[in-house]
């Protein structure tokens, strides 16, 4: 028996299985993690922007209320107060304070370069209209990413100007980027861990599958009998055991089939040789010695019948294999059929020095639903088998009993019996074991199928009464026969 080398195992790969596994297992996890990173980034950014908006809005309202609380009565006072406010503004490094007129132009700014410019953002338009407004985006003047909040300055319930805070989003965007990178790093670590664990797991699964696949390929190519080393104790181990068992059984079946072909060829050649020889002899001297002529014709007839029986066995076996083996069931006196077979074979056995003892049932055995011709075939095969393998014992016992609703027929010989290690296989097709007797090796398989189709049991065992010999047990149900 061949063994798959480890080197071959290590070189085998099943890429399709790996790809399908990674796509179905690792890819969804990666997509889920990346989606979580995206959601986290969006939520974080929104949190920063909302916090900035809330802070600037609150600050703008307080500043606007403070500014209008001075009781400005003229535009000149408003302008002087605005200029003073921007000059004394202490957060110029991080925040710009602007005062804008109702035309949207900057009048005063803590960042002097923007004075006189026209920002043109929608937050200013809303503030001029009397509502709080905010803007996030690129500054139309500089292109810088900014966040701005504008609050109207009311005097006598009329908008005199707009107080506006402007801050750069560079620091916030930098913080958002850092959060994204941290989340992405964590996500990549999770994906890498999942990927590595999946690859390790896949390798543990794929390697034995690849080995089994290669073994199956080699078996299908004719390398029967190879086996795979089994180092696994789970479902993979069961798979390897099944492959090894299949390989062994195919090897055994192949060997049995080869032996069968050889045996059948020999069995066919022997009677054909006898028939051809005597046919040629009679053809050369058709009116020779009458005794020799009768002997030759008897041999030709006997060998022809043997060939016919072998061909019929082979045809029956072929029908069993393709499911065409059927019964013609009718009302049959099974005991009468058995006794006819005993009568037929008793004289033949007597000529060979074999005594047949028949022990009939003391009970009345009713007719049963059966195929009479097929049951005759079973009896003939069993008797012939007893003669070939147990004839050395010079005695064959046949008994009939009614047991548990079945007709039980036992045929026992007093030959050497069957080796214990061969008993489980004697009913298998083509199996002849260590026996040197002539035959195709399918007779018992055909008998077993016939009895099985009758709903009965066909068993072969060794005698357990302290004497040698084999026992064939045939059990046919005594089903009710409708008239």
Mean pLDDT computed over 334-361: 90
Instruction: Residue 187: name the closest of 43, 40, 37, 24 by CA.
Output: 37
Contact 119, 104 (CB under 8 A): yes
Alpha helices in 327-410 (DSSP H): 334-351, 372-390
Residue 55 tokens read as 């802070």
CA–CA separation, 250 and 333 (whole Å): 42
What element of type H or E holds 325? none
Question: What structural domains does the chain harbor?
Answer: 235-322 (1.10.287.130), 330-477 (3.30.565.10)
By residue count, the chain amounts to 483
What element of type H or E holds 204? helix 170-220
CA–CA separation, 324 and 405 (whole Å): 29
**Is the per-residue pLDDT at 456 higher than 90?**
yes
Give the per-residue pLDDT at 267.
62
Adjacent-strand bridge partners of 346: none
Q: What are phi and psi of 232, to 5 degrees?
A: -115, 150
Residue 427 tokens read as 């009913």
Give the per-residue pLDDT at 93.
85
**Is the per-residue pLDDT at 445 higher than 80?**
yes
Confidence of residue 441 (pLDDT cuts 50, 70, 90): low
CA–CA separation, 222 and 185 (whole Å): 54
Give the per-residue pLDDT at 13.
47
Mean pLDDT computed over 378-383: 90
Greatest mean pLDDT among 12-21, 108-117, 232-241, 458-467 lies in: 458-467
DSSP code per residue over 208-251? HHHHHHHHHHHHHTT-TT-B------SHHHHHHHHHHHHHHHHH
Q: Is the dihedral of CA 85, 88, 91, 96 positive or negative?
A: positive
Mean pLDDT in the chain? Answer: 81
Contact 320, 449 (CB under 8 A): yes
Q: Which residue would you say has higher pLDDT here, 423 or 11?
A: 423
**Is the per-residue pLDDT at 26 higher than 60?**
yes
pTM above 0.85, yes or no: no
Confidence of residue 482 (pLDDT cuts 50, 70, 90): very low
What digits encode the pLDDT tens for the residues 307-318? 777 777 777 767
Give the per-residue pLDDT at 427.
81
Q: What is the DSSP letter of 470?
A: E
Coil, strand or helix: which one is 97?
strand
CA–CA separation, 116 and 139 (whole Å): 15
Instruction: Residue 63: name the closest of 87, 97, 114, 111 by CA.
Output: 97
What digits encode the pLDDT tens for the residues 119-176? 889 999 999 998 999 999 998 888 889 999 999 988 877 888 899 999 998 888 888 8
Instruction: Residue 311: name the closest of 279, 267, 277 by CA.
Output: 267
Contact 469, 354 (CB under 8 A): no
């Amino acid at each position: 028996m061949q063994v798959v080398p480890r080197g071959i195992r290590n070189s085998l790969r099943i890429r399709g299985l790996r790809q399908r596994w990674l796509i179905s297992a690792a890819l969804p996890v990666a997509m889920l993690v990346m989606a979580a990173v995206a959601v986290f980034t969006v939520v974080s950014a929104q949190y920063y922007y909302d916090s900035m908006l809330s802070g600037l809005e609150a600050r703008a309202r307080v500043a606007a209320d403070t500014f209008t609380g001075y009781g400005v009565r003229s535009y000149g006072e408003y302008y002087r107060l605005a200029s003073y406010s921007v000059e004394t503004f202490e957060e110029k490094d991080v925040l710009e304070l602007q005062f804008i007129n109702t035309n949207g132009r900057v009048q005063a700014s803590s960042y002097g370069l923007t004075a006189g410019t026209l920002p043109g953002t929608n937050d200013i338009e809303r503030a001029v209209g009397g509502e709080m407004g905010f803007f996030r985006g690129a500054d139309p003047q500089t292109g810088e990413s900014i966040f701005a909040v504008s609050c109207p300055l009311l005097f006598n319930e009329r908008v005199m100007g707009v107080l506006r805070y402007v801050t750069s989003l560079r620091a916030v965007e930098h913080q958002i980027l850092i959060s994204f990178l941290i989340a992405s790093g964590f996500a990549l670590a999770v994906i890498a861990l999942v990927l590595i664990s999946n690859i390790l797991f896949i390798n543990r699964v794929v390697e034995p599958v690849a080995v089994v696949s290669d073994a199956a390929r080699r078996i299908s190519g004719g390398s029967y009998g190879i086996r795979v080393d089994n180092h696994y104790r789970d479902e993979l181990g069961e798979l390897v055991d099944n492959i090894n068992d299949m390989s062994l059984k195919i090897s055994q079946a192949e060997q049995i089939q080869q032996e069968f072909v050889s045996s059948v060829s020999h069995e066919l050649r022997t009677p054909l040789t006898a028939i051809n020889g005597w046919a040629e002899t009679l053809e050369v001297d058709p009116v020779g010695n009458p005794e020799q002529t009768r002997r030759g014709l008897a041999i030709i007839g006997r060998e022809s019948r043997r060939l016919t029986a072998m061909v019929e066995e082979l045809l029956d076996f072929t029908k069993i294999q393709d499911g065409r083996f059927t019964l013609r069931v009718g009302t049959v006196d099974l005991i009468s059929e058995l006794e006819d077979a005993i009568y037929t074979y008793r004289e033949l056995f007597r000529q060979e020095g074999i005594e047949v003892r028949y022990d009939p049932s003391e009970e009345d055995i009713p007719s049963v639903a059966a195929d009479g011709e097929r049951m005759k075939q079973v009896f003939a095969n069993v008797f012939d088998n007893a003669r070939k393998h147990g004839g050395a014992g010079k005695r064959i016992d046949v008994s009939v009993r009614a047991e548990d609703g079945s007709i039980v027929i036992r045929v026992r010989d007093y030959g050497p019996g069957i080796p214990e290690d061969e008993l489980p296989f004697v009913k298998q097709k083509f199996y002849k074991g260590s026996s040197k007797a002539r035959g195709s090796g399918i007779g018992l398989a055909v008998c077993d199928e016939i009895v099985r189709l009758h709903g009965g049991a066909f068993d072969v065992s060794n005698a357990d009464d302290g004497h040698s010999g084999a026992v064939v047990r045939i059990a046919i149900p005594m089903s009710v026969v409708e008239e």
